[in-house]
Amino acid sequence: MIYFPFRLTEDSQPISRRFPWLALIAGIIMLARLAASVGTFSPTIDESSHIGAAVSLIEAKKLVAPGSHPPLARLVAAIPLWLDGARLPQCRGQTTIGTEDLGYALGTQVLYHSAKPYSTLLIHARLAMLIFPAIALLYVFLLGRMLLGEPAATLAAIFFSVDPTLLGYGFWVGNDLASCAGCLAATYHGLRWLTQPTWPRASVAAIAVGLAISTKFSCLLVIPLLLLLALARTSPWRKLLIQLPMIAAIAFVTLWGTYLFNVGPLSDQAGLQAPAHPTSDNAAAQAMRRQWQRVPRFIRETPVPMPSFFLGVARLAAHNRYGHAAYLNGQVSSTGWWYYFPEVFALKTPLGFLAALSIAICLCIIRRQWRQWPTRAILIPAILFFAAAMAAKLDIGIRYILPAIPFLYLFVAAQLARPHWIVLLVALILCSAIETAAVHPDYLSYFNIAAGGPSNGDRFALDTNLDWNQDVYRLADWMRANLNGRPYAIRLDGLRNKPLIEKLGLDPASLDASPHGKILFMSKSSRLIDGRLSWLSHRKPIAHIGYGIDVYDLTGPAQPNEPDDIPVRDELESPTK
């Protein structure tokens, strides 16, 4: 155990034996809150793609739809989907890695054309995702116990269990919470290996690193992270270097195993082979095709382990190079802002934790705690993950800094879980818990009181910070209760809402209908980021559905300077492609 010099007093040790039970209770409460929310929200923009990729992975024995994310979280989602009878027979024997649209098309087929209702499939897949917040909370406790002792570890775990970002992304079918859990596990087992480099610990650390990378490509950062941690302390370098080849081999085989030990040529990639594509033919896609043509033919045609992995890394690099349309403080940009994540973190974090973090930073500076190994072991991962997100051009949600957030809770516990400060820490935990509980179950849309709450979140940030298309169920309920036969038009974020609209008994033609003379239901992301019907900023909504959809009454005559919008196409690539 790595000793941290600032703990509760020695006479508190009998009491501290009860601390793990308190952490367990906090975890159970967290999971109960998440489980109670899984059926409240409609499929997000990305969930159908992950679901299509999950089932096609089992059918094809290869990640084919799409390869833009590693497979571990999708394998977890595939278990309940497969048990529920979801099948994609056209994917059996398929070798070509499809485009993003193929994933959405396959997900649409799984959700809306399976024997079981789409809501049942979605709920079961989401419940399976709860394993990742559970693992994340477990490793917060284990890291804290190893570095700080059980009392501080327990308080960090309890504090983290009420974090709105953890709760907001805890059950969606995707890889954001999986990457958080993976980075925590890899850091914990990596630290154990660095502290005592035995062969068993090296093997476990290697498996943890391989699994972490299989959650999200950004988890490749755990490799330089462990190097930085090794440099930050006196390490037995001779033993580490001797064991390094074995660690690399085990990590690679572990990662390859999550790809089902697939071997194939890099040329099995539809997106790079096609000359053009109706929805993905953007600057990044064109650049990737040009670079692809420069790769020697023998490299493209030589079979390699898990080709989906290498193509996915290339796709991520191109995506980051050309950016993604993002929104901050009323402005839209494809290249983002260096201060995006610090600002979003400040807006979407409870005031209780922001106060605790500010005090902890001051205490760390006053006491010069950065010289202590435990403090370095906590701060280095937080800074690395945070800095990497700030350097990228994908400013589309606080979820991109999820791996950094739990380390900040550990840092707070390291500074405040001690005499004279622990009462304040407990009070701030209670304040955060109350502020977060006030928005239940809309943790995804959480903004703190200083930002005006989630109702005012669109003044600052959108995307997956507020509106991820999760309020369509509520939209249907509101229309059935209030519309009274009046004509309506719907504008939602994304282009793939027609199947869900049909299943909910709404008119799919409303997605393309002119809004004039109708009741208009408008997602905030669609209006503010995509720019459709931007003139609505001069109109006042008559109602709000959840925190992502506004309702406008346009049944009267159109006002001057209110042109119609361009009809929205809702096209999907055929699942047979």
pLDDT at residue number 274: 54
Half-sphere exposure of residue 532: CA atoms within 13 angstroms, side-chain side: 25
Q: CA 448, 449, 452, 456: dihedral to nearest 10 degrees? A: 30
Q: CA 119, 122, 127, 132: dihedral to nearest 10 degrees? A: -160
Q: pLDDT category, 572, cuts 50, 70, 90?
A: very low
CB 189 within 8 A of CB 205: yes
33-to-36, 59, 119, 140, 486 alpha-carbon distances in Å:
5, 33, 19, 19, 37
> Does 285 reside within a domain?
no
> Looking at the structure, do residues 396 and 506 belong to the same domain, yes or no?
no
Whole-number Å distance between alpha carbons of 273 and 275 = 6
Whole-number Å distance between alpha carbons of 52 and 88 = 9
> Does 310 reside within a domain?
no
pTM for the model: 0.93
> Looking at the structure, do residues 52 and 94 belong to the same domain, yes or no?
yes
CB neighbours (10 Å) of residue 404? 21
pLDDT tens per residue across span 441-458: 999 999 999 999 999 999
Instruction: Please count the structural domains in the chain.
Output: 3
- Average pLDDT, integer, range 305-326: 87
> Looking at the structure, do residues 136 and 118 belong to the same domain, yes or no?
no
Whole-number Å distance between alpha carbons of 265 and 214 = 20
Domain edge (last residue) among 410, 437, 464:
437
Question: Does residue 41 carry a pLDDT above 70?
Answer: yes
> Looking at the structure, do residues 478 and 549 belong to the same domain, yes or no?
yes
> Does 442 reside within a domain?
no
> Looking at the structure, do residues 410 and 548 belong to the same domain, yes or no?
no
> Looking at the structure, do residues 411 and 527 belong to the same domain, yes or no?
no
DSSP letter assigned to residue 491? E
Say which residues have a Cβ less than 8 Å from residue 112's Cβ, sequence separation at least 6. Answer: 118, 499, 500, 503
State whether residue 328 is helix, strand or coil.
strand
> Looking at the structure, do residues 355 and 372 belong to the same domain, yes or no?
yes
Domain edge (last residue) among 111, 129, 147:
129
> Looking at the structure, do residues 75 and 207 belong to the same domain, yes or no?
no
> Does 364 reside within a domain?
yes
> Does 198 reside within a domain?
yes
The domain containing residue 430 runs over which residues? 10-36+131-260+333-437
> Looking at the structure, do residues 350 and 371 belong to the same domain, yes or no?
yes
Residue 552, strand partner residues: 520
> Looking at the structure, do residues 356 and 431 belong to the same domain, yes or no?
yes
Listed range (114-118, 135-139, 291-295) with the worst mean pLDDT: 291-295
pLDDT at residue number 284: 66
> Does 452 reside within a domain?
no
> Does 3 reside within a domain?
no
pLDDT tens per residue across span 78-130: 999 999 999 999 999 998 888 888 999 999 999 999 999 999 999 999 999 99
> Does 291 reside within a domain?
no
pLDDT tens per residue across span 475-502: 999 999 999 999 999 999 877 899 999 9
